[in-house]
Structure 1
Amino acid sequence: MTGRLRAPTGRYGGKTAAERQAERRRRFLDAALQLFGDSPGYRATTVAALSEAAGLSTRQFYEEFRTLEDVLAALHLEVNDWATAAVLAAVADADQLPLTERAAAIFRAYAANVTSDPRRVRITFVEIIGVSARMEEQRLARRAHWVDLVCAEAERAVSRGEAAPRDFRLAATAFIGSVNGLLHDWNAGWVDATLDEVVEELVRQLVGILQPPGWESGRV
């Protein structure tokens, strides 16, 4: 298919064409979360199988998407957006807490959101890997988004006298790699720890970056 088929217009069953289109798209994404994030996985799923799981036709699929990779791309962004919303809410709620407590609240919110559904972990850390240059670019762009968020929080800690000034980008990039790897391994059962213990370890790593040995509290 070189392009999407034209979707029907007008009101039907009390819903506008836009509402019906949004509903169809939601059903395809929900079905993809199950098939890509559980079994059989993205690479073993066909358009026909996804359409059947969504209770829709392949014609309706091509009204919404060009390829299965488009569905994976949309789902990967959505899963990341859910985690981002949880983190931003935690950032606002924990604004007045001391650094260590604030970091714990933020990473607890992230970890709880990502690991609340094993399918989200698989979409974020497994299924998107090695699909295409386009998907790798999207994956790295989303990682850069998380690096930016860590850097912003680190700079805010510096402005409050809670952290030593430095260029945080390299350390933040390494830290995000640790976050992703540890949460993936924990979810896969390779790490013998509770989620709270995982969060505590990540917080210790982050505080170690922000407050290196020899740094004195209150010095900016």
Structure 2
Amino acid sequence: MTGRITPAAGRYAGKSAAERRAGRRHRFLEAGLDLFGAGPGYRATRITDVCRAAGLSTRQFYEEFRTLEDLLAELHLHVNDTAQRSVVAAWPEARALPLAERHSRLFRAYTAGATADPRHARIAYVEVIGVSPRLDRQRLERRARWIDFLCGQADEAVKRGELPPGDYRVAAAAFIGAVNGLMHDWSVGWVDAALDQVVEELLKILLTRLGIGP
């Protein structure tokens, strides 16, 4: 019939095809977040488990993702973006603070963004480790962004006369390595400490390296 709108292209239950697809993708992401971040973990999860948790079919899964690893990769980017948004939101109030307070405020914003949802912490620090060369590259690329951020903060501190001139990249890389290592151990229960204790210990490492620690 001329002018007929197919169900795939038209509106159904008040939603367009694009809105329905976005809703399905969100359900798969939420299911993955639960299973990888709070359930059996990525390695013990199958596509059928995700579909069952999302209440959707395997056909619908393959319309959104090629593999289960694709779902994990997208979740890893999502949890990193969440932490980054937390830091960006804290920057306007932190920028005028003295060096020690500024770094403390920004790092606390990062850890708040990374751990407010425990599922995020497990995905960021545990589940993506050693999955594949592709995810290792993605993880290291995101780590490099945080190193660049710290180097940018150091450069700004040098301009303000708060730090002596120097190359702080190795120190930034060492600190990010410490964050990932300690947060991994805390996430899997190898470190018997409250999150506040972990954050304080990492801050001591950072501030001491900048010459402003206790």
Partner of 1:217: none
Task: Tell me how far apart the structure 1 counterparts of residues 8 and 133 of structure 2 sit (CA, whole Å).
Answer: 33
Instruction: State the 1:192 CA deviation.
Output: 4.5
SS of 1:28's partner is: helix
Confirm or deny that 1:23 pairs with 2:26: no
Partner of 1:56: 56
Write out aligned runs for 1:51-130 (5 A): 51-130=51-130
Partner of 1:197: 197
Q: Deviations over 1:164-216 (max 9, x none)?
A: 21111111111101112222333344435443333333223222333389xxx
Q: Which amino acid aligns with 1:87?
A: V
Q: Which amino acid aligns with 2:127?
A: E
Task: Tell me how far apart the structure 2 counterparts of residues 139 and 22 of structure 1 sit (CA, whole Å).
Answer: 25
Given that 2:9 and 2:16 are in contact with CA atoms closer than 8 Å, whether structure 1 keeps it comes out as: yes
SS of 1:97's partner is: coil
Given that 1:86 and 1:113 are in contact with CA atoms closer than 8 Å, whether structure 2 keeps it comes out as: yes
- Change beyond 3 A, Cα 1:196–1:39: closer
TM superposition score normalised by structure 2? 0.89
Given that 2:100 and 2:212 are in contact with CA atoms closer than 8 Å, whether structure 1 keeps it comes out as: no
Task: Tell me how far apart the structure 2 counterparts of residues 45 and 136 of structure 1 sit (CA, whole Å).
Answer: 19
Q: CA RMSD in A?
A: 1.9
Task: Tell me how far apart the structure 2 counterparts of residues 50 and 195 of structure 1 sit (CA, whole Å).
Answer: 30
* Greater relative CO, 1 or 2 (CA 8 Å, sep 6+): 1
Comparing 12-21 and 60-69, the one that deviates more: 12-21
Task: Tell me how far apart the structure 2 counterparts of residues 8 and 92 of structure 1 sit (CA, whole Å).
Answer: 45
Confirm or deny that 1:148 pairs with 2:148: yes
Unaligned runs of 5+ in 2: 1-6
